[in-house]
Structure 1
Amino acid sequence: MHKYLFLLASLASLPALAQQTPKKPLDHSVYDQWQSIARQRISDNGKYVLFQVKPQQGDATLYLKTTGNQSLRQISRGDSALFTADSKFAVFTIKPRYQDVRQARIKKKKPDQMPQDSIGIYTLATGKLTKYANVKSFQLAEEAPVLAFLAMKPAIKDSLKKAPVDTVKKITDRLLETKKEGAPLTVISLVTGKLRTFEAVTDYQLSKTGNRVAFAVAAPKDSKALKSGLFVYNLATSSLRQLSGGRGVYKNLAFDDAGQQLAFTAEKHPEKALVKPFSLYYSDFSSDSARLLLAPSASVLKAGWSPSGFGKVLFSDNGEKLFFGTAPDPIPQDTTLVDFEHAKLDIWNYKDDYLQPMQLKTLKKDLQRNYLAVIYPKRANKFIQLEDEYLRDSYMAELNNAEYVLAVTDTAKRVAMQWEGNTLKQAYLVSTRTGERLAINPKAAKSRFQISPSGKYAIWYDYTSKNWFSFTTATHKTTNLTAKAGVVFADEENDSPDDPQPYGIAAWTKDDAAVLVYDRYDIWKINPQTGTATNFTNAVGRQHKLRFRYSIPVEKQKFIEPKDELWLLVQDDSTKQWGYYKKNIASMKAPQRVVLAPIGYSALMQAKHADVLVYTKSNVRLSADLYTSRDLLKETKLSSINAQQKDYNWFTAELVHWTTPKGYPATGVLYKPENFDPTKKYPMVAYFYEKLSDGLYKYTAPAPTPSRLDIALFASNGYLVFTPDISYTIGEPGPSAVEFVNSGVESLKKNAWVDGTHIGLQGQSWGGYQVAYLITQTNIYAAAWAGAPVVNMTSAYGGIRWESGQSRQFQYERTQSRIGGTLWEKPEVYIRNSPLFSLPKVQTPVVIMSNDADGAVPWYQGIEMFTDLRRLNKPVWLLQYNGEAHNLVKRENRKDISIRELQFFDHYLKGAPAPVWLEKGVPAVEKGRNWGLEVSKQ
């Protein structure tokens, strides 16, 4: 009897024992298992959802479901999915298999020999799936179920390599000719299934209504069946018309919204012509041929100017105006110059508007620069040049029937960008009817401009007064919109020597009746004509420390309708929780709380013709899965990704608070292993940038790092990870890091479960600088990792940010580095904040990552740190990833640094054996054959 009871008790305890089975720590082999949700779409009728489940590397899967979570189809490698406007079809590309692409790359296949995309068409009513192979691109009509796609050109098959030489030559010559000619274009009416294919197409455009498709044909020179030119196919009548003939380049094909007008640019010059300016053509389909609107060097143009082949062609919403670009004719290249017989140099001149590196970075854009103009095809080709060399950046209203475009210029003010980081700007409203220019601000100022959706107002933020202003186009009246609101609309927490940034604009209501503007917490509804301002969120935000934000959830909606219900995204400033409130745009009542929870919510996507929402939500323990709902309370879960997480030791996150030595209240996040045991001691790594606590509820998947700390990997492997927020005192960026990071670490060390002798530091970029500074000020850290650090502000000050070509001076004087003055004004401040001058104090082993293609931080800064510490005989290592940027891009390099980072901290914080690269290094003669990752054998 007793044996029987014992057996029952043992059986009953089995589930409990199973639950106590230790979970595995994450390792570097798990990365590709982790998935994410991407490219979600909801049909206009709110009944269907498309979304992609993507692994970090490998083949994605496209899911097609009803909003009630009925599975309709899974498409392996489906991508770029769209619903038709009638919600009856889904169209998507099907990518080639990852392994097939990999093998083709290994074999060094040419682009036209690589595996190609296919296209899929899924009929929602019947479940029918139709596929077409080798597709280069596709367009889906915005308002009709009409599809057009361009196929890839044929490639030379490997079997032809064994064919007779003359046969291969003929085929090769033919393919080279085909590359100039184009490829097959297929047009399908998805409802009727009617299909038409056109050969040798180089460019195409489907009208918004799907009634017509325009395309350019480059026919083979020996073809008798095909003609080169610009054609239009009418889907309703199945008729084909050639609007323009002759070989040449046809670009910028554009229909009006109704599909009843077409415009394009074209050049038909001889192939050997040194200069090939474009012309502008137009058709309303009333005649057989497109008519020439504007030819090169037309009398209405500036001398030596022509329509540009690089300028976008665009009809106004009502079809009355045609916008396009003009430009000076290109300078013909001197073909008599011999490349190796003339000098190659860059000439820097102190009078240049832009530094030479900036000019070289924007060279292609500058060569293609064009200037906005407008022409009225139905009004005797009335022409107005809107932009020119002085006024070269303009912005149209969303509803571009508006009379004015907003143009902004910083001409003659650009040199100061070197130390200011931006330029003073003047803004004008330029009439599309008369060309008249109305100056908005009388003199150049530091401002941020935009034009309202209907074009009735220009609105801008003035950095000097820290207010928003409007300019009424009808009355030419300027109004201060925020001066009487009683709150600040600029960053209240600004801790840099630059002017504080505005919190921004949320949206506009219909007919430009009101603009929604943010302060730190609330949203203000302001009449842009009178400046009458009301707190739209009824001061609930400031009262409860809730940050209200809003974005229009319906795709392609340009403004808020008069009766719209607004879903307001909220974050609690104290708890960092996220949620949504709701309020009608016309209501005077306070916004109503719907949900506020320890969850992170994405922006909402709403069906165009139904009150159905699609969104993701997640927290530290829950992957960002996809949901649908009407009210965010009763919701349907559409995905369940990363089920494998349950098998691994995960982690938790909690807010921690402390007071710094100078009495500042401080906040950070502490991450602990899921199996945390308060009776044990844990090593800890402090990772920081500026402020990271808003991400308390962010889901962080294990992934190869671009250079940051992989929190999931470290916490899973028995580390505490601490991310302190840092606030800065101007002129003291280094001491500010000491104030917040060290005091936060000391506060946590009071807990018995923190191993105070085994604490590390990790930071990248600005964080890397702070790591370098901290180890010169204290020896409490057992190991440090500094990615892309600046250690010598005196040498970095005059350097170049090579990714943009811009000088680094502004960064020290005005922005992140926070010195607040020039090098010659405050040399002692630059030196005091530069780790280089205190390197003899360093006792902490440190790894530096400094890549030789870093475009943000001068990579020689890492070399300065390494060579000086090496001379001082300090334990230091430098990782230099060849051809890599500021943050690692290549996945193989990300995997490599992830391994080394954990090895390094395991050795110094856990006593694990040192790998070869730490103990002995890897000689250059072994580069590419030995990575030194194995444990060193003494």
Structure 2
Amino acid sequence: MKSNKTKYKIDNPVALINGIMFFILVIVLFLVSFIGFGQNKPKKELTAADYHLWSFPTMEKLSEKGKWVSFSLHYENGKDSLFVTNNKGTKTYHFPGASKGGFCGDSWFFCKTQKGELKITNLLTSKEEIIPEVIQYNLRDNTKDLIILKKGTDGKKQLELRNMETSTSAVLSDVEIYSYNPKADAIVYTTKSGNKTAITLLRLRDKMTTLIASTAEPCNYSNIVWQENGSSIAFLKQALKDAEKTVRTSVSHYTITDARLAVFNPTGMKDFPEDTEICSSSFPNLSISKDGKRIFFKVQKTTSPVDTSEVQTWNTQDKALYPAKVQINDWKGIPKVLVWWPEEYRFNFITDNEFPKMMLSGDQKYAFLFNPLQNEPQANRDALLNVYIMDLATGKRKLLLQNQSNSGGSSISFYEEYVVYFKDRNWWVYDSKSGLHKNLTKELNVSFSDMESDWPEESSPFGNPGWIAQNKTLLFYDKYDIWGVPLDGSTPFRLTNGRSTKTTHRIVVQSEEQSPHKSNYNGNYKGLFQPDDRLLIKTVSLEHTGYCFWSRKAGVQPLLDKTMKTSQFIAATKNNSYAYVEENFNTPPRILFKENRNSKDKVLFQSNPQHFKYNWGTSKLITYTNSKGNILNGVLCYPANYHTDTKYPMVVYVYEKLSKELYNYVNPSQNNPTGFNISNFTSKGYFVLLPDIVYEIGNPGASATDCVVSATKKIIDTESIDSVRIILDAQTELFNAEKNCHYSKKNIRYY
């Protein structure tokens, strides 16, 4: 029987291939359309009931070789969380409610839980160890050792020295407090057993202990502070509450090398006032000079309370308004600063009622005194200062700076024997040894303060972040760049070249030593840099932000330059990797990692993933011209789910210059200190306009109104704005100017 099967002959292979390709194309198009249908799921409208979902991410630390990043998420309800993720994005640890996290190398992470536990996690094996009731802890520098103060099972405190690698530990009992100093590689701790209280030095290298002092009196040793190089300590001996009338607070200074203890006891000090006591609060400003020869602390005179029942007399010539005048009480009630020379067994008062405020020189051999009310009353926000210099050795003082501005603490700095100050639009230096003043910047032909400032007083300088001590080179900012100015008279130099691109460069602090905000009584010490430091620099222009490194050998090395907001940059200490955060108006903050500056960015964490389920607005930079012909900028934020054929209402928010807000991501929230939240408005179908405002000195209201009106008109002419539904959200200084607005009251609603 013959088969009925038909044989097909392939006469045209090209046609067959084309047919197969067509079939594959149809399948691909079907799959793409199906996937697209799934991805194009309609987004939701944001409501106030959704606001609690949002959090604020903060990058905490990067392990020494950049293998791990820790970060925290902060929620308005207080239910914060700490996370650790590896640089591959493949492993994440979650520590709900934890804080005070830190890395030990690239293998361990430790943090404190809400229950007061110390949790130690081996990041390689995921093994965890929990130590309960921990009060304080430190990681010993360059080791795997943890120093832990905790409560024992009997309720008494213990000091434990634990090695995370071997899990071995040593425990000291009855410890009350401790203070660790990495330069000395030592701990000073106090113990209380029975009626005996002691303070002891423990050298961590050899575990040898030395008793510093002990007493059977009803007292505590407290407020332990170290000399900067770890050579000596100072501490208070203060009476327990029930014994305050019989035992006076004293100050002790202990020198480690020769085991010498000196004590300042008010009862035995000649000429110490009977009605004055050493401050025993938590913040007595107890400190040791760098050379260890002088101890500084605060004392307070016993005063009678002010009688508030007296008739109030308000006098226009008073130095302060009546309520402040009563509180200040001629400075009688505030603590005064005293200096003590332990080796010479003498002391001297530094501040008094005439000059109650002070700052110390960099070498702590001089004090700079002032009275903030001396030149009151006056018309400016802050009165100019008359600053006096006191030689601590002799107690003599003389006028140093007259009518000196120090707005925000940015105009006066102290470096060893030098005083650096800003006056008449230039940086000056005073040498306390020679007594000479010198203008450092007059020949540079660069402005170091804001020439465009619209404040009716001398503009503040752009800043002095610190100095390079080894070669005595001061660092200054102009509008865009960083300058180095040597004190030896050699040629100043510019570290960066931001002026050509209008890009501002500013140093990012990478260590406590570099911080420009180290406390100096009523001022701050500026940053200390080393000649071979690799500086991290933040760069900001109108539409770009980023970072770069600078070093003496390599100059500027660009790292990032993005049309987004970049922040929270952290560099690894033992290789070239780094992590940072980026965001823009419609992209929530995310953490990125780079192995080096030439590698690709890798997203390690995206915050607020729920954002992408909601309709969201966008932002753009705008320009406008006011009636004076000034070309100004601003930010326009578009409503969520914007359609060009729809007219929208607009909120105009007014406060100085806000174009820097262009890339800021704003969490929706009902908890807003100013009552204003951009995302709340854009999600409800509003445009939001943030115009830059320039004020005319002597005519702020009219000039602000001119800017607001000019910017608003420009946007009405170019965007889908409903011109009869415009809301003005203005700060206080504009309220009196609103009646001058060129729009009629029926067209603008006011907040």
**Which of these residues, 161, 166, 169, is aligned with residue 194 of structure 1?**
169
By how many angstroms is 1:362 displaced?
Answer: 7.0
Which amino acid counterpart does residue 459 of structure 1 have in structure 2?
V
Find the counterpart in structure 2 of residue 680 from structure 1: 646
Contact 1:479/1:530 (<8 A) preserved? no
Q: Against the structure 1 CA distance between its residues 507 and 683, is the aligned structure 2 distance closer, same or farther, given a 3 Å change threshold?
A: same
**Which of these residues, 249, 267, 282, is aligned with residue 278 of structure 1?**
249
What whole-Å deviation, never above 9, does each CA across 1:469-491 have from its counterpart, x for those lacking one? 11123433211112222122221
Find the counterpart in structure 1 of residue 19 from structure 2: none
Contact 1:31/1:56 (<8 A) preserved? no
Q: Structure 2: where are the runs of 5+ without partners?
A: 1-23, 515-526
CA distance, structure 2, for counterparts of residue 83 and residue 271 of structure 1: 43
Contact 2:485/2:493 (<8 A) preserved? yes
Which amino acid counterpart does residue 130 of structure 2 have in structure 1?
K
Query: Is 1:323 aligned to 2:289, yes or no?
Result: no
CA distance, structure 1, for counterparts of residue 174 and residue 403 of structure 2: 54
Pairwise CA RMSD of aligned residues?
Answer: 4.0
By how many angstroms is 1:50 displaced?
Answer: 2.1
User: SS in structure 1 opposite 2:404?
Assistant: coil
CA distance, structure 2, for counterparts of residue 638 and residue 242 of structure 1: 50
Find the counterpart in structure 2 of residue 559 from structure 1: 528
What whole-Å deviation, never above 9, does each CA across 1:475-508 have from its counterpart, x for those lacking one? 3321111222212222122113222121112332
Contact 1:569/1:579 (<8 A) preserved? yes
**Which of these residues, 142, 157, 161, is aligned with residue 184 of structure 1?**
157
Query: Is 1:660 aligned to 2:632, yes or no?
Result: no
Query: Is 1:146 aligned to 2:171, yes or no?
Result: no
Query: Is 1:450 aligned to 2:440, yes or no?
Result: no
Correspondence list, 1:782-793, <5 A? 782-784=748-750, 786=751
**Which of these residues, 416, 435, 443, is aligned with residue 476 of structure 1?**
435
Query: Is 1:205 aligned to 2:173, yes or no?
Result: no
**Which of these residues, 86, 93, 110, is aligned with residue 112 of structure 2?**
93
Contact 1:738/1:774 (<8 A) preserved? yes
Correspondence list, 1:428-827, <5 A? 428-431=388-391, 435=395, 437=397, 439-441=399-401, 443-447=402-406, 449-453=411-415, 455-462=416-423, 465-511=424-470, 513-530=472-489, 532-537=491-496, 540-557=497-514, 558-572=527-541, 575-585=542-552, 591=556, 593-602=558-567, 604-629=569-594, 631-634=596-599, 635-704=601-670, 705-751=672-718, 753-766=720-733, 769=735, 772-773=738-739, 778-779=744-745, 781-784=747-750, 786=751
Correspondence list, 1:225-264, <5 A? 226-232=194-200, 234=202, 236-237=206-207, 241=211, 243-245=213-215, 246-256=217-227, 261-264=232-235
Which amino acid counterpart does residue 459 of structure 2 have in structure 1?
P
User: SS in structure 2 opposite 1:624?
Assistant: strand
User: SS in structure 2 opposite 1:730?
Assistant: coil
By how many angstroms is 1:765 displaced?
Answer: 4.0
Which amino acid counterpart does residue 71 of structure 1 have in structure 2?
K
What whole-Å deviation, never above 9, does each CA across 1:59-98 have from its counterpart, x for those lacking one? 22222234454636321212122345x6664332212xxx
CA distance, structure 2, for counterparts of residue 361 and residue 561 of structure 1: 44
By how many angstroms is 1:460 displaced?
Answer: 0.6
Q: Against the structure 1 CA distance between its residues 598 and 266, is the aligned structure 2 distance closer, same or farther, given a 3 Å change threshold?
A: same
Find the counterpart in structure 2 of residue 855 from structure 1: none
What whole-Å deviation, never above 9, does each CA across 1:320-357 have from its counterpart, x for those lacking one? 234221424434899xxxxxxx8645855747644443
Contact 1:283/1:291 (<8 A) preserved? yes
User: SS in structure 2 opposite 1:483?
Assistant: coil
CA distance, structure 2, for counterparts of residue 480 and residue 532 of structure 1: 14
Contact 2:640/2:685 (<8 A) preserved? no
Q: Against the structure 1 CA distance between its residues 295 and 717, is the aligned structure 2 distance closer, same or farther, given a 3 Å change threshold?
A: same
Which amino acid counterpart does residue 231 of structure 1 have in structure 2?
I
Q: Against the structure 1 CA distance between its residues 531 and 411, is the aligned structure 2 distance closer, same or farther, given a 3 Å change threshold?
A: farther
The structure with more helix, counted as a fraction of residues: 1
Contact 1:595/1:633 (<8 A) preserved? no
CA distance, structure 2, for counterparts of residue 500 and residue 207 of structure 1: 41
CA distance, structure 1, for counterparts of residue 87 and residue 371 of structure 2: 50
What whole-Å deviation, never above 9, does each CA across 1:544-588 have from its counterpart, x for those lacking one? 22222223334434433223343332222xx4321234433367x
By how many angstroms is 1:677 displaced?
Answer: 1.8
CA distance, structure 2, for counterparts of residue 308 and residue 260 of structure 1: 24
Find the counterpart in structure 2 of residue 108 from structure 1: none
Q: Against the structure 1 CA distance between its residues 673 and 690, is the aligned structure 2 distance closer, same or farther, given a 3 Å change threshold?
A: same
Q: Against the structure 1 CA distance between its residues 496 and 285, is the aligned structure 2 distance closer, same or farther, given a 3 Å change threshold?
A: closer
Find the counterpart in structure 1 of residue 121 from structure 2: 122
Q: Against the structure 1 CA distance between its residues 615 and 20, is the aligned structure 2 distance closer, same or farther, given a 3 Å change threshold?
A: closer
Query: Is 1:82 aligned to 2:102, yes or no?
Result: yes
Contact 1:306/1:328 (<8 A) preserved? yes
CA distance, structure 1, for counterparts of residue 534 and residue 60 of structure 2: 22
Correspondence list, 1:15-164, <5 A? 15-38=35-58, 40-44=60-64, 46-69=66-89, 71=91, 73-83=93-103, 89-95=108-114, 116-124=115-123, 127-141=126-140, 145-149=145-149, 151=151
Q: Against the structure 1 CA distance between its residues 647 and 295, is the aligned structure 2 distance closer, same or farther, given a 3 Å change threshold?
A: same
Q: Against the structure 1 CA distance between its residues 563 and 530, is the aligned structure 2 distance closer, same or farther, given a 3 Å change threshold?
A: same
TM-score of the two chains, using structure 1 as the length reference:
0.67
CA distance, structure 2, for counterparts of residue 239 and residue 685 of structure 1: 68
Find the counterpart in structure 2 of residue 423 from structure 1: 383
Q: Structure 1: where are the runs of 5+ without partners?
A: 96-115, 155-181, 220-224, 335-341, 787-938
Q: Against the structure 1 CA distance between its residues 474 and 604, is the aligned structure 2 distance closer, same or farther, given a 3 Å change threshold?
A: farther
Contact 2:237/2:251 (<8 A) preserved? yes
By how many angstroms is 1:727 displaced?
Answer: 1.0
CA distance, structure 1, for counterparts of residue 251 and residue 220 of structure 2: 12
CA distance, structure 1, for counterparts of residue 578 and residue 455 of structure 2: 39
CA distance, structure 2, for counterparts of residue 727 and residue 248 of structure 1: 60
CA distance, structure 2, for counterparts of residue 428 and residue 529 of structure 1: 25
Contact 2:184/2:229 (<8 A) preserved? no
CA distance, structure 1, for counterparts of residue 168 and residue 718 of structure 2: 71
Contact 1:136/1:152 (<8 A) preserved? no
Q: Against the structure 1 CA distance between its residues 359 and 136, is the aligned structure 2 distance closer, same or farther, given a 3 Å change threshold?
A: farther
CA distance, structure 2, for counterparts of residue 471 and residue 565 of structure 1: 29
Which amino acid counterpart does residue 129 of structure 1 have in structure 2?
E
By how many angstroms is 1:385 displaced?
Answer: 4.5
Correspondence list, 1:297-316, <5 A? 298-299=269-270, 301=272, 305-310=276-281, 311-316=284-289
What whole-Å deviation, never above 9, does each CA across 1:504-541 have from its counterpart, x for those lacking one? 1233223252122112222222123438433332xx43
TM-score of the two chains, using structure 2 as the length reference:
0.82
What whole-Å deviation, never above 9, does each CA across 1:189-213 have from its counterpart, x for those lacking one? 3345424254483x44334358554
Q: Against the structure 1 CA distance between its residues 633 and 208, is the aligned structure 2 distance closer, same or farther, given a 3 Å change threshold?
A: same
By how many angstroms is 1:227 displaced?
Answer: 2.7
Which amino acid counterpart does residue 128 of structure 2 have in structure 1?
L
Correspondence list, 1:283-298, <5 A? 283-284=254-255, 291-296=262-267, 298=269
Q: Against the structure 1 CA distance between its residues 24 and 405, is the aligned structure 2 distance closer, same or farther, given a 3 Å change threshold?
A: farther
